[in-house]
Each structure stands twice: as structure tokens, then as C-alpha cells.
Amino acid sequence: PFTGHITLAYVSGLESEQDRERLADTLIALNREWFGQPIPFSLARAEFRRFADMAAYLRDPGWPVFRFAAG
């Protein structure tokens, strides 16, 4: 029931199908450009959070945390 992801941005206000398609095409082009290359950021920690809206990410101190080894 959980999906791991890294949120880079939230997008709203794309009313027309043309705007949504243009955004999708842009994201696909970026993925193709970066595919096979190191990602331009690193992850040090992953944790569970719950959110009821896009402004409040709540975390219980007992929920799991994963720290990535430096590599």
C-alpha cells in the first residue's frame, strides 16, 4: 500500500489537455536525457510520513527511518 517517491514539485492549474500533454512530454524528455547518467542529487535518509494536505507532513517518532550508507 506504500509507494516510495521523491517529490520534486506539485503541479496544479493545468486546465487544458494540451497543457497536461505538454508537461508530460517535457518530463519524458528530461527522463530520457538523464537516463543512464548519475542523478544530480543524493539521498541520505528515507522515512515514513503521513499527510492530509500538501502543507503538513506528519511523522511519528516510532515510524521507520532508513539511512543510506555513504558510497
CB 68 within 8 A of CB 45: yes
pTM listed for this prediction = 0.43
Render pLDDT for 19-41 as a digit per residue (tens, 0 to 9). 888 888 888 888 788 777 777 77
Distance CA 28, CA 31 (A): 5
Cell of 28: 519524458
Render pLDDT for 51-61 as a digit per residue (tens, 0 to 9). 777 677 788 89
CB 71 within 8 A of CB 59: no
